[in-house]
Protein backbone atom coordinates (compact mmCIF):
# COMPACT_ATOMS: atom_id res chain seq x y z
CA UNK A 1 0.00 0.00 0.00
CA UNK A 2 1.87 3.03 -1.15
CA UNK A 3 -0.02 6.15 -0.51
CA UNK A 4 1.02 9.72 0.02
CA UNK A 5 0.08 9.67 3.66
CA UNK A 6 1.65 6.30 4.35
CA UNK A 7 4.25 7.69 6.68
CA UNK A 8 4.22 10.78 8.84
CA UNK A 9 5.48 13.67 6.82
CA UNK A 10 7.33 16.81 7.58
CA UNK A 11 5.50 19.93 6.56
CA UNK A 12 7.85 20.33 3.63
CA UNK A 13 7.37 16.74 2.48
CA UNK A 14 3.65 17.07 2.88
CA UNK A 15 3.51 20.22 0.81
CA UNK A 16 5.76 18.85 -1.88
CA UNK A 17 3.66 15.72 -2.13
CA UNK A 18 0.44 17.65 -2.18
CA UNK A 19 1.95 19.81 -4.90
CA UNK A 20 1.72 16.74 -7.11
CA UNK A 21 -2.01 17.19 -6.97
CA UNK A 22 -1.51 20.34 -8.96
CA UNK A 23 -1.07 22.76 -6.16
CA UNK A 24 2.45 23.99 -6.48
CA UNK A 25 1.53 27.42 -5.18
CA UNK A 26 1.55 25.87 -1.74
CA UNK A 27 5.20 25.13 -2.23
CA UNK A 28 6.06 28.44 -3.76
CA UNK A 29 4.11 30.34 -1.16
CA UNK A 30 4.83 33.99 -0.72
CA UNK A 31 7.50 33.95 -3.41
CA UNK A 32 4.67 34.74 -5.81
CA UNK A 33 2.74 31.92 -7.39
CA UNK A 34 3.55 33.01 -10.87
CA UNK A 35 7.01 34.35 -10.27
CA UNK A 36 8.52 32.87 -13.38
CA UNK A 37 5.78 33.96 -15.70
CA UNK A 38 6.55 37.60 -14.96
CA UNK A 39 2.85 38.43 -14.88
CA UNK A 40 1.44 39.52 -11.54
CA UNK A 41 -1.53 37.55 -10.30
CA UNK A 42 -3.91 40.46 -10.61
CA UNK A 43 -2.74 41.72 -13.98
CA UNK A 44 -5.37 42.28 -16.62
CA UNK A 45 -5.12 39.83 -19.49
CA UNK A 46 -2.76 40.39 -22.33
CA UNK A 47 -4.04 43.01 -24.74
CA UNK A 48 -2.85 42.44 -28.28
CA UNK A 49 -2.93 45.55 -30.43
CA UNK A 50 -5.18 45.12 -33.46
CA UNK A 51 -3.10 44.29 -36.54
CA UNK A 52 -4.89 46.97 -38.60
CA UNK A 53 -4.57 45.29 -41.97
CA UNK A 54 -1.26 43.57 -41.39
CA UNK A 55 -1.33 39.92 -42.33
CA UNK A 56 -0.15 37.56 -39.62
CA UNK A 57 -0.81 33.88 -39.39
CA UNK A 58 -0.47 31.77 -36.26
CA UNK A 59 -0.48 27.98 -36.06
CA UNK A 60 -1.87 26.70 -32.80
CA UNK A 61 -1.07 23.07 -32.04
CA UNK A 62 -3.56 21.67 -29.55
CA UNK A 63 -7.04 22.83 -28.57
CA UNK A 64 -6.83 22.65 -24.80
CA UNK A 65 -7.17 25.68 -22.54
CA UNK A 66 -3.86 27.29 -23.55
CA UNK A 67 -4.55 26.88 -27.27
CA UNK A 68 -8.13 28.15 -26.94
CA UNK A 69 -6.99 31.14 -24.88
CA UNK A 70 -4.39 32.06 -27.49
CA UNK A 71 -6.79 31.56 -30.39
CA UNK A 72 -9.44 33.75 -28.77
CA UNK A 73 -7.05 36.61 -28.04
CA UNK A 74 -5.31 36.40 -31.43
CA UNK A 75 -8.54 36.34 -33.42
CA UNK A 76 -9.79 39.42 -31.61
CA UNK A 77 -6.65 41.28 -32.66
CA UNK A 78 -7.00 40.23 -36.30
CA UNK A 79 -4.48 37.41 -36.51
CA UNK A 80 -5.38 34.49 -38.78
CA UNK A 81 -5.28 31.28 -36.80
CA UNK A 82 -5.08 27.65 -37.79
CA UNK A 83 -5.88 25.33 -34.91
CA UNK A 84 -4.76 21.70 -35.22
CA UNK A 85 -5.90 19.15 -32.68
CA UNK A 86 -4.60 15.58 -32.73
CA UNK A 87 -7.44 13.91 -30.87
CA UNK A 88 -11.13 13.46 -31.68
CA UNK A 89 -12.22 16.25 -29.34
CA UNK A 90 -11.52 19.77 -28.10
CA UNK A 91 -10.56 20.58 -24.51
CA UNK A 92 -7.42 18.61 -23.70
CA UNK A 93 -7.44 17.71 -20.04
CA UNK A 94 -10.67 19.60 -19.50
CA UNK A 95 -12.67 16.43 -20.04
CA UNK A 96 -16.26 16.24 -18.91
CA UNK A 97 -17.62 12.77 -19.64
CA UNK A 98 -21.27 12.12 -20.45
CA UNK A 99 -23.38 9.39 -21.98
CA UNK A 100 -21.77 7.97 -25.15
CA UNK A 101 -18.49 9.87 -25.01
CA UNK A 102 -15.46 8.04 -26.35
CA UNK A 103 -12.56 7.71 -23.91
CA UNK A 104 -9.44 7.30 -25.99
CA UNK A 105 -7.12 5.52 -23.60
CA UNK A 106 -4.36 3.48 -25.24
CA UNK A 107 -5.16 -0.17 -24.63
CA UNK A 108 -8.39 0.58 -22.77
CA UNK A 109 -10.84 2.38 -25.06
CA UNK A 110 -14.23 2.96 -23.47
CA UNK A 111 -17.56 4.48 -24.27
CA UNK A 112 -19.01 6.39 -21.33
CA UNK A 113 -21.91 4.24 -20.08
CA UNK A 114 -23.64 6.89 -17.95
CA UNK A 115 -27.37 7.40 -18.51
CA UNK A 116 -28.25 10.24 -20.83
CA UNK A 117 -29.21 12.93 -18.30
CA UNK A 118 -27.93 16.47 -17.78
CA UNK A 119 -26.88 15.87 -14.19
CA UNK A 120 -24.91 12.71 -14.97
CA UNK A 121 -21.47 13.99 -15.90
CA UNK A 122 -17.96 13.47 -14.60
CA UNK A 123 -15.07 15.90 -14.68
CA UNK A 124 -12.31 13.40 -15.42
CA UNK A 125 -9.72 16.15 -15.72
CA UNK A 126 -9.85 19.70 -14.34
CA UNK A 127 -12.55 19.91 -11.67
CA UNK A 128 -12.14 22.96 -9.44
CA UNK A 129 -11.11 26.60 -9.58
CA UNK A 130 -9.79 28.60 -6.62
CA UNK A 131 -10.73 32.28 -6.45
CA UNK A 132 -7.17 33.51 -6.95
CA UNK A 133 -6.91 31.80 -10.35
CA UNK A 134 -7.85 35.09 -11.88
CA UNK A 135 -6.77 34.16 -15.40
CA UNK A 136 -9.24 31.36 -15.97
CA UNK A 137 -11.87 33.24 -13.95
CA UNK A 138 -11.39 36.22 -16.26
CA UNK A 139 -12.64 34.07 -19.14
CA UNK A 140 -15.43 32.58 -17.04
CA UNK A 141 -16.59 36.12 -16.29
CA UNK A 142 -16.22 37.64 -19.75
CA UNK A 143 -17.46 34.61 -21.70
CA UNK A 144 -20.46 34.00 -19.46
CA UNK A 145 -19.61 30.73 -17.72
CA UNK A 146 -21.97 30.13 -14.82
CA UNK A 147 -20.17 28.97 -11.69
CA UNK A 148 -21.25 27.15 -8.57
CA UNK A 149 -19.44 26.44 -5.33
CA UNK A 150 -17.30 23.35 -5.11
CA UNK A 151 -16.34 21.79 -1.81
CA UNK A 152 -13.15 19.94 -0.97
CA UNK A 153 -13.89 19.90 2.71
CA UNK A 154 -17.11 18.49 4.09
CA UNK A 155 -17.16 17.56 7.75
CA UNK A 156 -19.83 14.92 7.11
CA UNK A 157 -17.57 12.95 4.81
CA UNK A 158 -15.47 10.09 6.11
CA UNK A 159 -11.88 9.20 6.75
CA UNK A 160 -10.99 5.51 6.59
CA UNK A 161 -7.70 3.89 7.50
CA UNK A 162 -7.21 0.19 8.17
CA UNK A 163 -4.69 1.08 10.87
CA UNK A 164 -7.24 2.89 13.07
CA UNK A 165 -10.78 2.41 14.41
CA UNK A 166 -10.79 -1.24 13.25
CA UNK A 167 -10.79 0.04 9.70
CA UNK A 168 -14.24 1.59 10.18
CA UNK A 169 -14.97 4.91 8.48
CA UNK A 170 -15.13 7.88 10.86
CA UNK A 171 -16.83 11.18 10.13
CA UNK A 172 -14.28 13.89 9.47
CA UNK A 173 -16.37 16.04 11.83
CA UNK A 174 -15.65 13.69 14.72
CA UNK A 175 -12.01 13.11 13.88
CA UNK A 176 -11.25 16.80 13.55
CA UNK A 177 -13.21 17.80 16.67
CA UNK A 178 -11.28 15.30 18.79
CA UNK A 179 -7.94 16.15 17.23
CA UNK A 180 -8.48 19.85 17.80
CA UNK A 181 -9.65 19.14 21.34
CA UNK A 182 -6.46 17.34 22.25
CA UNK A 183 -4.27 19.88 20.49
CA UNK A 184 -6.09 22.69 22.27
CA UNK A 185 -5.68 20.99 25.62
CA UNK A 186 -1.99 20.38 25.03
CA UNK A 187 -1.49 23.98 23.95
CA UNK A 188 -3.38 25.42 26.90
CA UNK A 189 -1.63 23.22 29.44
CA UNK A 190 1.86 23.80 28.08
CA UNK A 191 1.18 27.54 28.01
CA UNK A 192 0.01 27.56 31.64
CA UNK A 193 3.04 25.42 32.54
CA UNK A 194 5.28 28.17 31.22
CA UNK A 195 6.45 26.60 28.00
CA UNK A 196 7.11 29.66 25.90
CA UNK A 197 7.85 30.53 22.34
CA UNK A 198 11.11 32.25 21.53
CA UNK A 199 9.21 35.48 21.14
CA UNK A 200 8.27 38.39 23.37
CA UNK A 201 5.15 37.21 25.14
CA UNK A 202 3.63 39.14 28.06
CA UNK A 203 0.95 38.20 30.57
CA UNK A 204 -1.78 39.62 28.38
CA UNK A 205 -0.57 37.65 25.36
CA UNK A 206 -0.45 34.50 27.45
CA UNK A 207 -3.98 35.01 28.65
CA UNK A 208 -5.22 35.53 25.09
CA UNK A 209 -3.25 32.55 23.89
CA UNK A 210 -4.86 30.28 26.45
CA UNK A 211 -8.28 31.60 25.40
CA UNK A 212 -7.35 30.75 21.83
CA UNK A 213 -6.34 27.21 22.78
CA UNK A 214 -9.61 26.86 24.66
CA UNK A 215 -11.61 28.03 21.67
CA UNK A 216 -9.55 25.99 19.23
CA UNK A 217 -10.22 22.75 21.06
CA UNK A 218 -13.58 23.67 22.66
CA UNK A 219 -12.15 22.99 26.12
CA UNK A 220 -14.04 23.20 29.38
CA UNK A 221 -13.20 25.76 32.09
CA UNK A 222 -10.46 23.52 33.46
CA UNK A 223 -8.83 23.59 30.00
CA UNK A 224 -9.64 19.94 29.47
CA UNK A 225 -11.18 18.40 26.38
CA UNK A 226 -14.20 16.29 27.22
CA UNK A 227 -15.86 16.10 23.85
CA UNK A 228 -17.74 18.75 21.93
CA UNK A 229 -20.95 19.23 19.99
CA UNK A 230 -18.71 20.12 17.06
CA UNK A 231 -18.45 16.35 16.59
CA UNK A 232 -22.24 16.13 16.39
CA UNK A 233 -24.46 14.65 19.05
CA UNK A 234 -24.70 10.95 19.81
CA UNK A 235 -28.43 11.60 20.18
CA UNK A 236 -30.87 14.47 20.66
CA UNK A 237 -29.89 18.07 20.33
CA UNK A 238 -32.99 19.58 18.70
CA UNK A 239 -36.11 18.97 20.74
CA UNK A 240 -34.38 17.01 23.45
CA UNK A 241 -31.08 17.63 25.16
CA UNK A 242 -28.08 16.64 23.07
CA UNK A 243 -25.85 13.86 24.28
CA UNK A 244 -22.19 14.39 23.38
CA UNK A 245 -20.19 11.70 21.66
CA UNK A 246 -17.34 10.13 23.59
CA UNK A 247 -14.03 11.49 22.31
CA UNK A 248 -11.83 8.86 20.73
CA UNK A 249 -8.52 8.41 22.54
CA UNK A 250 -5.64 10.41 21.09
CA UNK A 251 -3.40 7.34 20.44
CA UNK A 252 -6.19 5.85 18.37
CA UNK A 253 -6.57 9.08 16.36
CA UNK A 254 -2.83 9.10 15.75
CA UNK A 255 -2.91 5.59 14.34
CA UNK A 256 -4.77 7.02 11.37
CA UNK A 257 -2.62 8.84 8.85
CA UNK A 258 -5.45 11.29 8.22
CA UNK A 259 -3.85 13.67 10.74
CA UNK A 260 -0.55 13.77 8.86
CA UNK A 261 -1.99 14.13 5.38
CA UNK A 262 -5.47 14.55 4.00
CA UNK A 263 -6.79 16.42 7.06
CA UNK A 264 -4.77 19.40 5.83
CA UNK A 265 -5.60 19.10 2.14
CA UNK A 266 -8.01 22.02 2.17
CA UNK A 267 -5.35 24.20 3.84
CA UNK A 268 -3.39 24.26 0.58
CA UNK A 269 -3.72 27.64 -1.11
CA UNK A 270 -5.21 26.19 -4.30
CA UNK A 271 -7.50 23.76 -2.47
CA UNK A 272 -8.88 25.93 0.32
CA UNK A 273 -12.51 26.99 0.45
CA UNK A 274 -14.23 28.60 -1.28
CA UNK A 275 -13.62 26.85 -4.59
CA UNK A 276 -15.74 27.05 -7.71
CA UNK A 277 -16.63 24.92 -10.69
CA UNK A 278 -18.77 25.61 -13.76
CA UNK A 279 -22.38 24.49 -13.59
CA UNK A 280 -22.98 21.53 -15.84
CA UNK A 281 -19.34 20.47 -16.11
CA UNK A 282 -15.89 21.98 -16.50
CA UNK A 283 -16.19 21.84 -20.28
CA UNK A 284 -18.58 24.80 -20.05
CA UNK A 285 -15.37 26.82 -20.28
CA UNK A 286 -14.34 25.03 -23.49
CA UNK A 287 -17.82 25.57 -24.94
CA UNK A 288 -17.65 29.25 -24.02
CA UNK A 289 -14.40 29.66 -25.97
CA UNK A 290 -15.87 27.77 -28.93
CA UNK A 291 -18.88 30.13 -29.01
CA UNK A 292 -16.46 33.01 -29.58
CA UNK A 293 -14.01 31.45 -32.04
CA UNK A 294 -14.61 31.88 -35.75
CA UNK A 295 -11.69 29.64 -36.77
CA UNK A 296 -12.80 26.02 -37.03
CA UNK A 297 -10.75 23.60 -34.98
CA UNK A 298 -9.37 20.82 -37.14
CA UNK A 299 -9.57 17.50 -35.32
CA UNK A 300 -7.55 14.32 -36.01
CA UNK A 301 -4.52 16.34 -37.11
CA UNK A 302 -1.40 14.71 -35.72
CA UNK A 303 1.71 16.83 -36.03
CA UNK A 304 4.65 14.98 -37.59
CA UNK A 305 7.22 17.70 -38.22
CA UNK A 306 8.00 21.17 -36.86
CA UNK A 307 10.52 23.22 -38.82
CA UNK A 308 11.76 26.64 -37.81
CA UNK A 309 12.23 28.89 -40.81
CA UNK A 310 13.99 32.23 -41.10
CA UNK A 311 10.66 34.10 -41.06
CA UNK A 312 8.31 31.68 -39.38
CA UNK A 313 7.49 28.06 -38.75
CA UNK A 314 6.34 25.20 -40.99
CA UNK A 315 4.32 22.39 -39.47
CA UNK A 316 3.53 19.10 -41.18
CA UNK A 317 0.66 17.00 -39.93
CA UNK A 318 -1.16 13.78 -40.73
CA UNK A 319 -4.90 13.91 -41.31
CA UNK A 320 -6.70 10.72 -42.29
CA UNK A 321 -3.50 9.22 -43.64
CA UNK A 322 -2.58 12.26 -45.75
CA UNK A 323 0.28 14.60 -44.99
CA UNK A 324 -0.22 18.39 -45.09
CA UNK A 325 2.16 21.26 -44.42
CA UNK A 326 1.19 24.72 -43.17
CA UNK A 327 3.41 27.74 -42.77
CA UNK A 328 2.84 30.61 -40.41
CA UNK A 329 4.48 33.62 -38.83
CA UNK A 330 4.26 32.04 -35.39
CA UNK A 331 3.65 28.61 -33.99
CA UNK A 332 2.09 28.22 -30.54
CA UNK A 333 2.77 24.65 -29.56
CA UNK A 334 0.60 23.19 -26.78
CA UNK A 335 1.57 19.56 -27.44
CA UNK A 336 2.77 17.79 -24.28
CA UNK A 337 6.57 18.07 -24.15
CA UNK A 338 7.02 14.31 -23.90
CA UNK A 339 5.32 13.97 -27.30
CA UNK A 340 7.15 16.90 -28.93
CA UNK A 341 10.29 14.96 -28.06
CA UNK A 342 9.16 12.29 -30.56
CA UNK A 343 8.15 14.67 -33.35
CA UNK A 344 10.65 15.35 -36.08
CA UNK A 345 11.89 18.92 -35.74
CA UNK A 346 14.77 21.33 -36.18
CA UNK A 347 14.29 22.99 -32.82
CA UNK A 348 17.47 23.72 -30.83
CA UNK A 349 18.90 20.53 -29.32
CA UNK A 350 19.07 21.92 -25.77
CA UNK A 351 15.41 22.99 -26.02
CA UNK A 352 14.28 19.50 -27.07
CA UNK A 353 16.57 17.87 -24.51
CA UNK A 354 14.68 19.62 -21.68
CA UNK A 355 11.37 18.41 -23.11
CA UNK A 356 12.51 14.80 -23.18
CA UNK A 357 13.55 15.00 -19.54
CA UNK A 358 10.19 16.21 -18.25
CA UNK A 359 8.32 13.51 -16.37
CA UNK A 360 4.89 12.27 -17.36
CA UNK A 361 2.31 13.06 -14.67
CA UNK A 362 0.54 9.88 -13.64
CA UNK A 363 -2.99 10.36 -12.43
CA UNK A 364 -6.03 8.14 -12.39
CA UNK A 365 -9.65 9.15 -11.92
CA UNK A 366 -12.61 6.80 -11.81
CA UNK A 367 -16.20 7.99 -12.17
CA UNK A 368 -19.10 5.83 -10.96
CA UNK A 369 -22.81 6.11 -11.71
CA UNK A 370 -24.94 5.44 -8.63
CA UNK A 371 -28.56 4.26 -8.86
CA UNK A 372 -29.44 6.12 -5.70
CA UNK A 373 -27.86 9.16 -4.12
CA UNK A 374 -27.13 7.05 -1.04
CA UNK A 375 -24.69 9.63 0.29
CA UNK A 376 -27.57 12.03 0.87
CA UNK A 377 -29.04 9.42 3.25
CA UNK A 378 -25.77 9.83 5.16
CA UNK A 379 -26.08 13.65 5.25
CA UNK A 380 -23.39 14.13 2.65
CA UNK A 381 -23.84 16.76 -0.05
CA UNK A 382 -20.53 17.44 -1.87
CA UNK A 383 -17.03 17.06 -0.47
CA UNK A 384 -14.44 14.31 -0.24
CA UNK A 385 -14.08 11.14 1.82
CA UNK A 386 -10.51 9.94 2.23
CA UNK A 387 -9.20 6.41 2.51
CA UNK A 388 -5.71 5.00 2.70
CA UNK A 389 -6.53 2.46 0.00
CA UNK A 390 -5.48 3.04 -3.60
CA UNK A 391 -8.73 4.78 -4.51
CA UNK A 392 -7.62 7.51 -2.02
CA UNK A 393 -10.73 9.67 -2.46
CA UNK A 394 -14.46 9.52 -3.02
CA UNK A 395 -16.08 12.76 -4.22
CA UNK A 396 -19.77 13.47 -3.94
CA UNK A 397 -21.46 15.75 -6.46
CA UNK A 398 -22.02 19.34 -5.35
CA UNK A 399 -24.86 19.67 -7.85
CA UNK A 400 -28.34 18.28 -8.41
CA UNK A 401 -29.24 17.19 -4.88
CA UNK A 402 -32.24 14.84 -4.62
CA UNK A 403 -32.13 13.79 -8.27
CA UNK A 404 -32.67 10.10 -8.96
CA UNK A 405 -29.07 9.23 -9.75
CA UNK A 406 -25.65 10.77 -9.47
CA UNK A 407 -22.03 10.45 -10.51
CA UNK A 408 -19.43 9.89 -7.83
CA UNK A 409 -15.72 10.19 -8.18
CA UNK A 410 -14.74 6.70 -7.08
CA UNK A 411 -10.96 7.03 -7.15
CA UNK A 412 -8.45 9.81 -7.59
CA UNK A 413 -4.80 9.34 -6.98
CA UNK A 414 -1.84 11.39 -8.09
CA UNK A 415 0.61 8.92 -6.57
CA UNK A 416 2.49 7.49 -9.59
CA UNK A 417 2.70 3.93 -8.23
CA UNK A 418 -1.04 3.85 -7.54
CA UNK A 419 -1.81 5.18 -10.99
CA UNK A 420 0.51 2.54 -12.47
CA UNK A 421 -1.44 -0.14 -10.63
CA UNK A 422 -4.74 1.13 -12.01
CA UNK A 423 -3.23 1.46 -15.49
CA UNK A 424 -2.14 -2.18 -15.40
CA UNK A 425 -5.75 -3.31 -14.84
CA UNK A 426 -8.48 -3.75 -17.39
CA UNK A 427 -11.29 -1.23 -17.17
CA UNK A 428 -13.55 -3.82 -15.52
CA UNK A 429 -10.86 -4.64 -12.96
CA UNK A 430 -10.50 -0.94 -12.16
CA UNK A 431 -14.23 -0.62 -11.52
CA UNK A 432 -14.22 -3.79 -9.39
CA UNK A 433 -11.30 -2.40 -7.37
CA UNK A 434 -12.98 0.98 -6.93
CA UNK A 435 -16.16 -0.70 -5.71
CA UNK A 436 -14.38 -3.16 -3.40
CA UNK A 437 -12.31 -0.41 -1.78
CA UNK A 438 -15.23 2.02 -1.62
CA UNK A 439 -17.13 -0.59 0.37
CA UNK A 440 -14.85 0.12 3.32
CA UNK A 441 -16.19 3.66 3.33
CA UNK A 442 -19.82 2.93 2.45
CA UNK A 443 -21.20 -0.52 3.29
CA UNK A 444 -23.50 -1.68 0.44
CA UNK A 445 -21.53 0.52 -1.97
CA UNK A 446 -21.62 -2.26 -4.61
CA UNK A 447 -25.39 -2.42 -4.72
CA UNK A 448 -25.61 1.31 -5.52
CA UNK A 449 -23.08 1.43 -8.36
CA UNK A 450 -24.37 0.74 -11.87
CA UNK A 451 -21.42 1.48 -14.16
CA UNK A 452 -18.38 3.67 -14.48
CA UNK A 453 -15.51 5.17 -16.41
CA UNK A 454 -11.79 5.05 -15.67
CA UNK A 455 -9.22 7.51 -16.97
CA UNK A 456 -5.49 6.88 -16.55
CA UNK A 457 -4.05 10.12 -17.83
CA UNK A 458 -0.61 8.66 -18.53
CA UNK A 459 -2.31 6.37 -21.05
CA UNK A 460 -4.62 8.88 -22.74
CA UNK A 461 -4.02 9.08 -26.46
CA UNK A 462 -2.19 12.21 -27.65
CA UNK A 463 -1.32 13.18 -24.06
CA UNK A 464 0.41 10.29 -22.26
CA UNK A 465 0.59 12.26 -19.06
CA UNK A 466 -1.17 14.73 -16.83
CA UNK A 467 0.80 17.83 -15.97
CA UNK A 468 4.52 17.85 -16.69
CA UNK A 469 6.67 16.72 -13.77
CA UNK A 470 9.54 19.14 -13.31
CA UNK A 471 12.26 18.16 -10.89
CA UNK A 472 13.62 21.03 -8.85
CA UNK A 473 16.92 20.73 -10.70
CA UNK A 474 15.35 20.70 -14.16
CA UNK A 475 13.20 23.68 -13.25
CA UNK A 476 16.34 25.64 -12.40
CA UNK A 477 18.13 24.79 -15.62
CA UNK A 478 15.29 24.30 -18.08
CA UNK A 479 12.16 26.29 -17.28
CA UNK A 480 13.23 29.66 -18.64
CA UNK A 481 14.83 28.01 -21.64
CA UNK A 482 11.57 26.28 -22.60
CA UNK A 483 9.51 29.34 -21.77
CA UNK A 484 11.48 31.49 -24.19
CA UNK A 485 10.62 31.21 -27.87
CA UNK A 486 12.80 29.13 -30.19
CA UNK A 487 12.71 31.25 -33.33
CA UNK A 488 9.03 31.92 -33.89
CA UNK A 489 8.00 28.77 -32.01
CA UNK A 490 6.53 28.97 -28.49
CA UNK A 491 5.90 26.00 -26.25
CA UNK A 492 2.81 26.57 -24.11
CA UNK A 493 0.35 24.84 -21.85
CA UNK A 494 0.17 24.25 -18.13
CA UNK A 495 3.45 22.35 -18.60
CA UNK A 496 5.11 25.76 -18.95
CA UNK A 497 3.80 27.16 -15.72
CA UNK A 498 4.50 26.55 -12.08
CA UNK A 499 0.93 25.28 -11.95
CA UNK A 500 1.06 22.09 -13.97
CA UNK A 501 -2.35 20.42 -13.96
CA UNK A 502 -4.24 23.68 -13.46
CA UNK A 503 -6.13 25.63 -16.10
CA UNK A 504 -4.62 28.78 -14.61
CA UNK A 505 -1.18 27.55 -15.66
CA UNK A 506 -2.44 27.02 -19.20
CA UNK A 507 -4.02 30.50 -19.43
CA UNK A 508 -0.94 32.21 -18.01
CA UNK A 509 1.42 30.33 -20.34
CA UNK A 510 -0.66 31.55 -23.30
CA UNK A 511 -0.60 35.12 -22.00
CA UNK A 512 3.15 34.86 -21.58
CA UNK A 513 3.65 33.80 -25.21
CA UNK A 514 1.16 36.40 -26.52
CA UNK A 515 2.91 39.16 -24.59
CA UNK A 516 6.14 38.22 -26.35
CA UNK A 517 4.44 38.16 -29.77
CA UNK A 518 3.03 41.59 -29.01
CA UNK A 519 6.51 42.84 -28.10
CA UNK A 520 7.93 41.49 -31.37
CA UNK A 521 5.10 42.90 -33.47
CA UNK A 522 5.64 46.30 -31.87
CA UNK A 523 9.32 46.11 -32.76
CA UNK A 524 8.48 45.00 -36.29
CA UNK A 525 6.09 47.89 -36.79
CA UNK A 526 8.81 50.33 -35.76
CA UNK A 527 11.13 48.71 -38.29
CA UNK A 528 13.43 47.23 -35.68
CA UNK A 529 14.61 43.64 -35.78
CA UNK A 530 12.23 41.54 -33.64
Partner 1 sequence: MNKIWLVFMLLSSAVLADSKQPDARYCLVCHGSAAQGNIAIKAPNLTILPDWYLRQQFTAFRNNWRGSVANDAHGKEMQAVANTMNDAEIEQAIAFIRRQAPVKLPISVNTTANVQHGQQLYQQCQACHGAQGEGNAQLHAPPLAGQHNWYLVQQLSAFKNGWRGNQSDDSYGQIMRQFAQSLPNEQAIADVVAYIDSLPSTQSSLRTTP
Binding site for partner 1 (CB under 8 A): 86, 88, 100-102, 104, 106-109, 111, 302-305, 318, 320-321, 337-339, 341-344, 349, 352, 355-358, 360, 420-421, 423-424, 426, 428, 459, 461-462, 464
Q: What is the rounded distance in angstroms from the CA atom of residue 492 to the CA atom of residue 333?
A: 6
Nearer to partner 1, 136 or 434 (CB): 434
Nearer to partner 1, 283 or 400 (CB): 283
Q: What is the rounded distance in angstroms from the CA atom of residue 397 to the CA atom of residue 383?
A: 8
Nearer to partner 1, 28 or 103 (CB): 103
CB of 341 to partner 1, least distance (A): 4
The secondary structure of 170-223 as a DSSP string is EEHHHHHHHHHHHHHHHHHHHHHTT---SS---HHHHHHHHHHHHHHHT--TTS
Q: What is the rounded distance in angstroms from the CA atom of residue 174 to the CA atom of residue 177?
A: 5
Nearer to partner 1, 153 or 459 (CB): 459
Q: How many Cβ atoms from other residues are within 10 Å of residue 474's Cβ?
A: 16
**Collapsing DSSP states into helix, strand and coil, what is residue 36?**
helix
Q: What is the rounded distance in angstroms from the CA atom of residue 300 to the CA atom of residue 85?
A: 6
Nearer to partner 1, 358 or 366 (CB): 358
CB of 431 to partner 1, least distance (A): 12
Bridge-based pairing state of the strands 158-160 and 383-387: parallel
Nearer to partner 1, 351 or 386 (CB): 351
Say if residue 274 is preceded by a cis peptide, omega within 30 of 0.
Answer: yes
CB of 199 to partner 1, least distance (A): 49
Nearer to partner 1, 41 or 318 (CB): 318
Q: What is the rounded distance in angstroms from the CA atom of residue 373 to the CA atom of residue 402?
A: 7
Q: What is the rounded distance in angstroms from the CA atom of residue 496 to the CA atom of residue 337?
A: 9
CB of 458 to partner 1, least distance (A): 8
Pick from 174, 177, 190: which is nearest to 217 by CA? 177
Nearer to partner 1, 194 or 321 (CB): 321
Q: What is the rounded distance in angstroms from the CA atom of residue 392 to the CA atom of residue 254?
A: 18
Nearer to partner 1, 213 or 423 (CB): 423
CB of 466 to partner 1, least distance (A): 15
CB of 468 to partner 1, least distance (A): 10
Contact 48, 517 (CB under 8 A): yes
Pick from 232, 225, 230: which is nearest to 249 by CA? 225
CB of 116 to partner 1, least distance (A): 12
CB of 364 to partner 1, least distance (A): 13
Nearer to partner 1, 308 or 358 (CB): 358
Contact 311, 329 (CB under 8 A): yes
CB of 394 to partner 1, least distance (A): 25
CB of 319 to partner 1, least distance (A): 10
Pick from 501, 399, 404: which is nearest to 458 by CA? 501
194 by Cβ neighbours in 10 Å (0-12 / 13-18 / 19+) ranks as: exposed
Pick from 514, 515, 504, 510: which is nearest to 25 by CA? 504
Nearer to partner 1, 293 or 464 (CB): 464
Q: What is the rounded distance in angstroms from the CA atom of residue 434 to the CA atom of residue 445?
A: 10
Pick from 179, 364, 370, 166: which is nearest to 262 by CA? 179
CB of 442 to partner 1, least distance (A): 27
Amino acid sequence: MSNYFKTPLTRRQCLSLLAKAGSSSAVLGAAGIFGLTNIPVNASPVALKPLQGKNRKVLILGAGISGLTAAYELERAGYRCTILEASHRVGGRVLTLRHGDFIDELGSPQICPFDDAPNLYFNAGAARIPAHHTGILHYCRTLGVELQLFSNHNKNCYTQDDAAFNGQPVRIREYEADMRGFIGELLAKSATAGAMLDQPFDEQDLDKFIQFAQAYGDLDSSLTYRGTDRAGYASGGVTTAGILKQPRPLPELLRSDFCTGAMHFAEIADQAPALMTPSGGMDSIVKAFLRQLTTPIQLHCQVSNIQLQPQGVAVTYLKQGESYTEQADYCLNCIPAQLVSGIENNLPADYVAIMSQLGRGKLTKIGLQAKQRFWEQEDIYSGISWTKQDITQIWYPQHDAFKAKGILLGAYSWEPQISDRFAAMTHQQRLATAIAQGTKVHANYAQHIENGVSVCWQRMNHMLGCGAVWTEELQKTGFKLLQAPAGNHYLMGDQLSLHPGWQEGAVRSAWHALADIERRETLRSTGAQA
